[in-house]
Each structure stands twice: as structure tokens, then as C-alpha cells.
Structure 1
Amino acid sequence: MRHIYTLKMLVAGFLYLAAGIVTAEAEDKPNIIIRSEETVFTVNAINNATTTVKTKITILNPNGDHRAKLYVPYDKLSKVNTIKGTLYDANGKKVKQLKNSDIKDVSAVSNSSLFDDNRVKVADLIHITYPYTVEYEYQTTSKNMMFYPMWIPLDEENLKVESASLRVEMPKGMKLRYHEKNLAAKVKQEATATHDVYLWEVKDLNPVRKEPSGAGLEELVPIVRTAPTEFEVDGYQGNMDSWKSYGQFIDKLNQGRDALPAETVLKLQSMVAGAKTPEEKIQKVYEYLQGKTRYVSIQLGIGGWQPFEASFVDAKGYGDCKALTNYTQAMLKAVGVNSYQALIRAGDDEDDILTDFPSSQFNHVLLYVPNGDNGIWLECTSQDVAAGYNGSHTGSRHALLVTPEGGKLIKTPDYGINENVQRRTISVKLDDKGNGKAIVSTLYTGLQQESRSDVMHHYKPDEQKKWIYQQTKIPAFEITNFTLEQKKERLPSVTEKLELDLRQSATISGKRMFLTLNLMNKWSYAPEPLENRKTNVVRSMAFLDLDTITYELPTGYTLEHKPQDAVHKSEFGEYKTSIKVDGQRVTYIRSLQMGKGTYSKDLYPKYIEFLNQIIKGDSQQVVFVKNIP
């Protein structure tokens, strides 16, 4: 599916989205000042619109130079009519007028794209002395009316906006739908002889800065989203007034594209002949898909939203997310299993869609197989992901099921404390110099296994070893052996086994041995206190870590000091440690569970306190004294 932000760029240029920021006080100095910016979106008909943008931007230092570049994307369904630009020095003297020959026209094709008509016109007015000011004016025309503007005037950190506006002009009789957020002034409505006019304006928006563990940008700054009711794309008409009607439009794009060759149908039916349950059929078809196909982005006109035929993928062995999902749906249908395509906003850091504002908020397609209360989600673009696993890429968010009856929102699985587990056991044998040999076995599940799964499937053995070195937080060690083993289940897991030589794992000072018990899983970060925090505390991942470490000391040592067992509980989680000494054997057990969610900003000091308790607990030592005859 063509990425949603590509089309938003046609209206507003590149969006610089940053997570976790808040409105700042005057002491936060900007890198950029938008003196004025006017965006006019004029709908000419159900299948045509024009966007005009005029902007004047002052660049104060090199950190703002990126805003002196203009990127205007276009494709088969859109064109760039004009681009004008002027550069002024600090005294307001004109330095340069943009010429047509200065404007570059480059492909926007990604490495994973085979068919892609996305292109970008690039203008560059970066200057060598500061401050300087650039003025740009450009106009585009689009025939893709699925997408209306999303307006974020304050779209990055260290940006000040003196004045910005969005004007939407709708022909009489055409309905505009919009969603406002964090606006000081709501929409103003006007009318001309031919159009209804909607106007949003902001003034004197201060720079923004990040707060630790804070809310994302879209929660904090003024945003206006707009969307059509009736629309047309490349001859296909649709309605976006509800999720049901939008799903009907997508279903119409998919109709008649699921036919498979007769020999393929017979092959599939033979392949699942021994399957005793629908789940077994699904697993066999999904494994066949992963072994036969590969992902290739296809972005040609309506092909950004309409899948290639299943027969094409069957013959060629490749397709984009739409095509591969459509192909999998066709294969399951051939073996008697019903399924539905589902639009979703994918991405590890993506927020959920606005469920109360039906619109094109999606950038990916999955397949959903109903299975009672335990439906199965299939990521059809991956050759590695386990059937039924959504993970960080598509988990814990809403998707739009596409059915002949229309669209229906459904939530993908959430992954919480009991799913995202790290369970580790370590056995360490120490010598008289504090060096040691360790045998480590760690089971990772859910979100905690994803990075190692990626390493397993995409790195060579020597690269895997280098990566494990980088991830293993021990001061001095050598990996003498390692293995990674994955179980591809609905909750996938990776087991990592290490054999390590440890240098000075314990510190020898005179007759004493100082042993820091937490070998591999020390918490090291707590955010700085804030006197006037403005946003709630946000934690995006829940997890459970369980570590059991057994140390075998050399003979001749007697315990001198052992820390007390610890239990620290807070609204954010629970931390526990247990230490047992039995002769020359020390057993250390640590557990840490952290929840996810949004917590009151008033709890921020308690959050810091809880993390500091973990840091202190993870640095505790036992002390032994050597018996001297």
C-alpha cells in the first residue's frame, strides 16, 4: 500500500514528526522561524484538487538548514504545476532567485521497489551565512482524492511559527469532514459564489522541546485532519463517511483479483489433505507463501491501493503487501478457509488511528482469519514472522477489516507483561583472580525476541557474534561459543546460549573479593527531574525480566557482607531481588516487571524514584574475605 505520508507531502511538504515533545518556554531558542505559511487546498471536482503553498522561513543556524530545502513529491496521479523560490540575506537583500534549472527531479524509489512512479522535485536555497530567509511558492494538482490535507504547522522541535493558515475550498454541495486537535481557535466558515470555505489559523506558536517519557507530538501541537465524503480515484468512486463505506470501496478495488490457476488450486488442496484442523491448513499455506514469495513494493497509480491479481503473484513469486495478502487470501479460499484483508497503520513507533474519524490513515495490509475468539493474523510480506504474530509492527492497534458488507474496525493483539518475557539462567565459576567462566541461557518471547529474530534471519554467523558482543553489557568478556534458536509459534521465542570467559568479574582487593551480582541486566538510566512537567508519563512497552545467577567461588572465602533482599513496588511496576549464600555458592535472583500505559504527570517523581531504586539495587555487591591460615 502506498504510504500515507507520501500523499500528505503533496499538500504540506515533508513532515518532520518527533516523539515526546511539549510546548516550551521562551528560553528554548528556535533554529527556524516560519514567518508566514499559507496552504490553500481547492477541490475542483470529486476527482481533482489543487494545492497552493506559500511560505517564508528564516533559518537561524545550521540546524535549520533542512527547511531551506523544498521537497515536492508527485506521481502518476499528481503533478507539480509551479515552484518558485527566493533567498534573502540577513539584511533582507535578495541573494538568489530560483531558476527552473536549479530544481532537481529525482526518483523516490526505495530499494524494495520494483514498480514505483513516485518522484520528487527538489529545490535548495541553503545559504552560507546566518540568519537568512527563504520564500517558496508551489502548486500541485492531484487526481487522487482519497487524501485531503493533514495540517501540522508546528511539526518539529526548535521551530517557531509566527503565522500559518490552512484554507480548504469545497464546491457547493460537497461535504468536508475534519478533525481538530489542540487548537486555540476553531474553524472559521465562509462562502463564495462557488465554494464553501473552511479556514484555520494559528499565530505565535513557541518552539517545542522533548520531555522524557512524554506524549508524542500529535498529542501536543495543533493538528487539523481533513477528509472527503464522496471521492474518486482513477475512475473508482467511493464514500468515506463511515468505516463501513470506506471498506466497501476497498473491497470494490479487490473484486475479481483472487483467481488462481487450476493446477495451483489442486496443488494447495493436495498439500493440506492431511491437515486435521483449519489451523493446520493455515500454517501449511502460510509456510508455502513464505517459501515461494518475496516482498516488492509496487506503487503505480491506482496500484498503490489495488492489488495485483493472485495469478500474477503465483507466476512471478513477488508482490507488495496488497498483492501478497490478496494471494494468501486466494490460497486459503482454495482450501476452504475464509479470511479478510485488513488495512492497518504499521510501524514500530506508529500511533493508533483515530477511530472516530473515518479516513485514509493506513499504510499496510494484513490478512485476518476468523477463528472463534482467537483469530489469526498473517503478515504476508515476511518470510520470517510466525503465523499469528503481530508484534511491535502491527500489534495493539486498530485495523479495518475489508468485507463485502463493508469495513469493520477490529483490534490486533496486545503484548503485555506475560508475553514480553526475558528468562535467563547463568552459571559462573570464579577463580582466585576474580576471572570466571559463564554459561548463559536466555529465553526471549514476544517483543523481547524480535531483535534477535531479525539477527538470526538477516545476519551471517560472524555478524551475529559481533551483534551479541555489542548487546552484552559486561565490562570485559570473550564469547567462546554461542547459539540462537527460534520457535515460530503464535508467541514466538528465541533461545540464546552463550559460553563466556569473564575478566575480573569479581574485584580482588587485598584479602577481600567484591562481587557485583547482576552480571548482564543492569538498569542504568533514570530521567532528570522536572520542576514543571507538562505532559503525562507514557510507557509504550510492558515486560518481565527474570534472572537467576549462580556463582561458584574458589575455596577459602567467607561471607563478610550480603545486601538485604529487596522489594520495590510502584504504579509502574515491581522490582525484587533475592540473595542466598551457601558456603562457596551464591544464588542471585532478580525480577523486574514494568507496565505500559499513560500515567499522571504528578507521578513523574515516583517514576524517577522507582528507576533509581532499580539502578541502586542492580549495583549491589556481596563481599567475601579470604581465610588466611
Structure 2
Amino acid sequence: MFLTLITALLAGAPAPKYPVEAIAPALRQNAHAVVRADDEVVTVKSASQLIETVHRVVTVLDAAGSDDYGQLVVRYSSLRHINYLRGAVYDAQGRLLHQLRPAEVHDQGLGDAGGSFMTDGRVRYADLRQPATPYTVEFDYEISSENTLFYPYWQPQHAENVALEGATLQVTTPTALPLRFDELRLPAGAATAPVVAGNQTTYRWHLSAQPAVEEEPLSPDIDELLPAVHLAPATFEVQGYAGSLASWQSLGLWNYQLGKGRDVLPPALTAKMAQLMVTDPDPRARARKVYEFVQSSTRYVSVQLGLGGWQTAPATEVATGGYGDCKALSNYTCALLKAAGLPAYVALVGAGSDQADVRASFPSSQFNHVILCMPLAARGPAPADTVWLECTSQTDAFGYMGTFTGNRHALLLTPEGGRLVATPRYGAQANRQQRRTDLWLDATGSAKATVRTQRVGLAQDVYAQLLHQADPEEQKRYVSNRLRLNSFTITSLRLAAAPVTKPQALPGVVELLGLELPGVATPAGRRLLLEPNVLGRLAALPAQVGARQTPLALPPASLTQDTVRLHLPAGFHAENMPQPVQLTSAYGTYTSTCTTLPDGTLQYVRQFETHRPAGPTLPAAKYPEYQDFRRKISQADHAQVVLMKTEA
């Protein structure tokens, strides 16, 4: 290394930087990339402006890390400006290969050609990927932000198979504008005491030598496992609108005031909604009509233009134009409901099937979506209830949240301020799948099958999207990719909405499937060996190698019921059938039986109901116990029927 440095100096070339050989062997283990440095400096200028400076160096060790770490994407908008973006790439020995030129920094808008996304958001991106690994990229950029509702979020190591050599975070803020922060999973000594100099206070954090992490089966999202610091102001200002993050109440009040006075409807529409109070005295039925009116007369268009990312468009504009984003459509629906005599509240929520719930102890802007909450007072025998409405969908069922916004907290926006409340949590009975399979087996071991599957609640979420949005070939591909079969042909497929039997029933989708199953049974002389649980087998979990490091995150509670009727080929009878199985644990219950019906048909019935703990995760030490429960289920799912051909 010393000789290399002397040679470089004599030749007038830049001294080598970040040689790969300098990385500790422990940090290269199981790593596709190593973050050599992630140094971020945040300078709060005022309640309405901050500057973020980032210096990031990553060594890409192999091709698997190149796409994610050999390039950089930085977002900006009318409230967020890029002051500069620089970059360089070095070879394995640390020699400079290339300095990023301004012409190589590309600029692109975030809107889409279809017109469903209106935004002033753009990105600048630079690509320094190299054909051969290892290599090292170095990026420097600076952001000036006039949106202090959002402070930067620091998690220098944020993906699987990425190690961290070193990282620092420094925040300097006027002492009169105190910093709020939430430290998550930091090692001891990562934070230093704040330093006050004049009227400024500086906070510092550092991380060093963090090895690469590999996700374990059923572990939480990797972001929830690695060290992080969330930052937020005590007070902020966006385009002249000042607010406080001292509490959820104050954040909700700021958002409420942004929309105040924007819920006025055209007089004719107000009168139309008021008429519903005469024609539909039942509040739930009246609310359903309002919701169906919104679904039939509006469409979703995202609007992210400056303050428009948080301030709703007036209800009159939605009524006239017939479109709006989640804020506008929720505000519009809220105005319609109020005109129909039904009080409701707009609510902020973090949406997404994999979205973590808000950190309730750290009031801050943790939301990306807006929905509607409508409390219903008790009326006669009907108890008090709360109806939640997704106002951006033209097909979602009335009152259903699903995996997108259910089972988490939302922030109600009221005249008194914000209030954190829970959205619906769906249990096993609300997340169920019931399947009936008829299997006509022939003497060679092949079969034809008809399958009727009804999915309800969370189990139908994706299938409802297929039903309303996808063409038949997309539907077929999706279903085909999820059949746990070695060889099959789909001969027919039809999806339909399940019939609604009760006013408060959860939505469902019925799938009718025709299959040809070559070799589904194994011939063995005069016998056929068949696992009657053709479609519902649950795989065992992999064995844990070494001590488990991460908590156990179980899927939502669910109920799965399978009935298989096996129509035997002529001349065959059941020689041996699986014994009944019943399993009970803290994680669920499982039963399976196989019987002979009066007409000679074999009937296999399986039911599996899962439980979910009250908290988001279970301790890592529970994994062997849960793994053993799953192993027993998998073993029972593979039980065989032995069919014997009667001798002539």
C-alpha cells in the first residue's frame, strides 16, 4: 500500500482511495456491498428551511450489489432543491477510474404518461456501475429544503447483505428550535451529548463496523432490524403555514386547518345529498349510497404540487372535475356525508400491505395516504359502530380496509386537533378461504379436477384486484403461479364477486377452476399412491442454523378450509387411508380427516386456523416451537391414500 502511494505521488496521479483490501474480512462476509462512509450533516436554518449534506461511499463487492449501489437517485421538487451532485468511481486498488461529469447526471420527472399522477417531483440520477467488481463509488450531494415538516431519516445500513464500515450524523439547529429524535436499535455509545455553542445546538451520532445482516424466515422487514435515527422538528413551516409536532393533537390541527373551508359543495349537490335523509332513514344504508355515488362519479388522480401534497383541493373542484387525489376525494366524500346528515372525519394513515405501523410515541409525519372515518351512533338494536372508507377506489367494498390500511393506526383530523385511533383489525374468521375440490382419477394416476374457492376479507384482496383490473391472461398467470403442483393445465378459470348475504359482510371473491393433472397419483403395481390434499399443502419452515437473531413476525390470523372429494377409477378401492390428525398450539389449530362416503367416494377434510399474537412480533426463542408446529402440519398435509385395484 505504501509503495502504491509513493508511485501515485511521483506520477502526479491522485492518491488511491478506499482500496478493497482495507475492508476488514468480517465486513466482507455475506456482503454484496460495504458502506465505507455515510456522513450526513443537517443544518436547520430556520423553522422553514434546512440544508442536508451527504457524503456516501460504497464498495460493490459483486454483481448482486451493483444495481442497488453503483448508482444514485436523489429526489427534488419545488420545495426541495439540489444544490450540487458529484461522484467518482474507483477500482479495487482505490485508483480513480472516472469522475462524474455534469452531462452524466440525468434528470427525470416523476409524473406518468397516463395523467393519473400530477407532481412537481423530479429525480436526478447518476450511474457509475462498472462491468467488473469489486469497485467503489463515491457520491456527494446537498439538498436545500423549504419543507421542514420532514427532517431526514438516518439509516446508513438499510438492506440485507450490506455491511457498514462507518457512518456519522450531525444535526445543528438553533437552540430556540429544539430537535426531536427517535433512536432505534443503536449500539451503546453511538450518541454523544448535545453541544451548545452560542445560539446553536449540535447533536452527533456515529456507527462503525456493522456486519452484513441476512434475513431469517418470518423475520420483520429489514428496516425494522437495523440501527436508525428518526428526526423531527418541534415546530415547522411549509409555505407560510406554521405548525407544531409537539403532539399528535397539534399535527392533526395543522392538517385540519389546511383543509378548513374547502368542504363546500355546489348547492344542487348539497340538496341531492340532503334528500337521502328522507329516502334512506337508515344511516348505514345512506352512507353506502353516498360512497357508491363517489365511486361511480369520480376517479383517482394523485396531486403532489408544492403544498398540494398536504392541502386538499376544494370539494367544488372535485364535484366539477370528477377527479382528485386521496386528500381531495376523502374531503369531498366527507362533505357529501355531512350534507346527508352523517358526520365524518378525514384521517391520515400509512398505507401499504408491508407498511409498519406508526411509532405512537414519536409524533411526526409518518403518513402517506388519506382515508375517511365515519362514526355511527347506536340506533335501535344496532350498536354504535365505526365505518372506514377508502375513497380512491372505484371497486372497494363499502367499509372495508383490508391489508392496505387495516390493522394499524390513523390520525383523525378534528376541529380540536389530531387523535390517533386504530383502523379495523381482521381476525381469522374475517380472513378465510373455503375450497371444494372434486378429483376424478383414472387408472393411470392422472386426473381431472374442478375447484371452487371462496376467499373472504384479507384472503381476497389480491383476487379482487384481479377481478376488476386484470385481463383473463393475467388472471390465469397469477393463479397458475400460486398452484403448488408439479404438472398441471388450467382448462377453465372464472372469477366473480361473492354474493353478499348480510349488510356488514366482508367482501369475497369466488374462483371456479378447471384442471388437468397428469401423474397426480403414483402407480405402484396394482396400487395408486395419492396425497389427497392436492392444493392446500403447507411447506415446512427451514431449519434454523445457529441461534436465531431476529424476532418472529407471523402473518395475519386466517382460516383455511379444504374439502377434497376423490372419485375413484373403476375397479379401485381404498386399501389404506390417513389417520385423523388434530394439532393444537398457541399458534393455531389443525385438523384433517379422510372418510369413505356411501357412494364409495373418498372425502378428505382439512381445516387450519392460525392465531396471531397481540404484539407485532414474538421473541426469537419461539422460532423452534413454531417451526415444530409447522413441521407437524406439513407432515400431515403429505399423508397418502393407497388405492388398490381389485383382481379380476
Judge same fold: TM > 0.5, yes or no.
Answer: yes
* Worse overlay, 594-603 or 378-387: 594-603
Note closer, same or farther for the CA distance 1:552–1:356 as it changes in structure 2 (3 Å cut).
same
CA deviation vs aligned residue, 1:532-581 (integer Å, no higher than 9, x gap) = 11122210321111111222324433332122111122232222111112
Q: Residue 404 of structure 1: which of 407, 415, 420 is its match?
A: 415
- Which residue matches 2:325? 320
Deviation at 1:271, TM superposition (A): 5.2
Deviation at 1:494, TM superposition (A): 1.4
1:378 and 2:385 matched: no
* Distance in 1 (alpha carbons) for counterparts of 2:89 and 2:27: 28
* Distance in 2 (alpha carbons) for counterparts of 1:429 and 1:126: 56
Note closer, same or farther for the CA distance 1:541–1:628 as it changes in structure 2 (3 Å cut).
same
CA contact (8 A) 1:251 1:406 kept: yes
1:426 and 2:441 matched: no
* Distance in 2 (alpha carbons) for counterparts of 1:400 and 1:455: 30
Deviation at 1:479, TM superposition (A): 4.2
Deviation at 1:171, TM superposition (A): 0.9
What is the one-letter code of the residue matched to 2:596?
V
* Worse overlay, 541-550 or 264-273: 264-273
Q: Residue 86 of structure 1: which of 88, 91, 111 is its match?
A: 88
- Which residue matches 2:267? 262
Deviation at 1:334, TM superposition (A): 1.3
Deviation at 1:177, TM superposition (A): 0.9
- Which residue matches 1:63? 64
Q: Residue 457 of structure 1: which of 452, 468, 472 is its match?
A: 468
- Which residue matches 2:360? 355
Pairing of 1:436-475 with structure 2 (within 5 A): 436-475=447-486
Note closer, same or farther for the CA distance 1:146–1:26 as it changes in structure 2 (3 Å cut).
closer
- Which residue matches 2:74? 72
CA RMSD of aligned residues (A): 2.1
* Distance in 1 (alpha carbons) for counterparts of 2:639 and 2:26: 40
- Which residue matches 2:547? 532
* Distance in 1 (alpha carbons) for counterparts of 2:116 and 2:449: 46
* Worse overlay, 600-609 or 378-387: 600-609
- Which residue matches 2:314? 309
- Residue 354 of structure 1 aligns to a residue in which SS? coil
- Residue 328 of structure 1 aligns to a residue in which SS? helix
Note closer, same or farther for the CA distance 1:126–1:374 as it changes in structure 2 (3 Å cut).
same
Deviation at 1:421, TM superposition (A): 0.7
1:145 and 2:163 matched: no
1:286 and 2:291 matched: yes
CA deviation vs aligned residue, 1:268-302 (integer Å, no higher than 9, x gap) = 33456421211111100111111111111111000
Q: Residue 575 of structure 1: which of 565, 590, 594 is its match?
A: 590
Deviation at 1:190, TM superposition (A): 0.6
1:519 and 2:534 matched: yes
* Distance in 1 (alpha carbons) for counterparts of 2:65 and 2:488: 43
CA contact (8 A) 2:181 2:232 kept: yes
Deviation at 1:69, TM superposition (A): 1.5
CA contact (8 A) 1:435 1:506 kept: yes
* Distance in 2 (alpha carbons) for counterparts of 1:466 and 1:200: 49
- Residue 615 of structure 1 aligns to a residue in which SS? helix
- Residue 370 of structure 1 aligns to a residue in which SS? strand
- Which residue matches 2:370? 365
* Distance in 2 (alpha carbons) for counterparts of 1:248 and 1:383: 30
Note closer, same or farther for the CA distance 1:502–1:138 as it changes in structure 2 (3 Å cut).
closer
1:241 and 2:246 matched: yes
Note closer, same or farther for the CA distance 1:91–1:427 as it changes in structure 2 (3 Å cut).
closer
What is the one-letter code of the residue matched to 1:622?
V
CA contact (8 A) 1:538 1:596 kept: no
What is the one-letter code of the residue matched to 2:205?
W
Deviation at 1:381, TM superposition (A): 0.6
CA contact (8 A) 1:104 1:121 kept: yes
Note closer, same or farther for the CA distance 1:95–1:484 as it changes in structure 2 (3 Å cut).
closer
Pairing of 1:130-279 with structure 2 (within 5 A): 130-184=133-187, 185=189, 186-270=191-275, 273-279=278-284
CA contact (8 A) 2:117 2:302 kept: yes
Note closer, same or farther for the CA distance 1:284–1:70 as it changes in structure 2 (3 Å cut).
same
Note closer, same or farther for the CA distance 1:116–1:612 as it changes in structure 2 (3 Å cut).
same
Q: Residue 296 of structure 1: which of 296, 301, 304 is its match?
A: 301
* Worse overlay, 183-192 or 322-331: 183-192
* Worse overlay, 123-132 or 472-481: 472-481
Note closer, same or farther for the CA distance 1:25–1:273 as it changes in structure 2 (3 Å cut).
farther
Deviation at 1:163, TM superposition (A): 1.6
Note closer, same or farther for the CA distance 1:86–1:194 as it changes in structure 2 (3 Å cut).
farther
* Distance in 2 (alpha carbons) for counterparts of 1:477 and 1:67: 40
Deviation at 1:468, TM superposition (A): 3.3
- Residue 376 of structure 2 aligns to a residue in which SS? coil
* Distance in 2 (alpha carbons) for counterparts of 1:88 and 1:470: 42
CA contact (8 A) 1:384 1:457 kept: yes
1:628 and 2:631 matched: no
- Which residue matches 2:5? none
* Distance in 2 (alpha carbons) for counterparts of 1:260 and 1:127: 57
1:120 and 2:112 matched: no
CA deviation vs aligned residue, 1:332-367 (integer Å, no higher than 9, x gap) = 111111100100000010110100100000000000
Structure 2: stretches of 5+ with no match in the other structure: 1-24, 378-383
CA contact (8 A) 1:388 1:490 kept: no
Deviation at 1:377, TM superposition (A): 0.4
* Distance in 2 (alpha carbons) for counterparts of 1:558 and 1:129: 63
Note closer, same or farther for the CA distance 1:525–1:318 as it changes in structure 2 (3 Å cut).
farther
Structure 1: stretches of 5+ with no match in the other structure: 1-23
Deviation at 1:204, TM superposition (A): 1.2
1:601 and 2:620 matched: yes
- Which residue matches 1:104? 106
Q: Residue 559 of structure 2: which of 523, 535, 544 is its match?
A: 544
CA contact (8 A) 2:160 2:222 kept: no
Deviation at 1:477, TM superposition (A): 4.4
What is the one-letter code of the residue matched to 2:497?
Q
- Which residue matches 1:585? 601
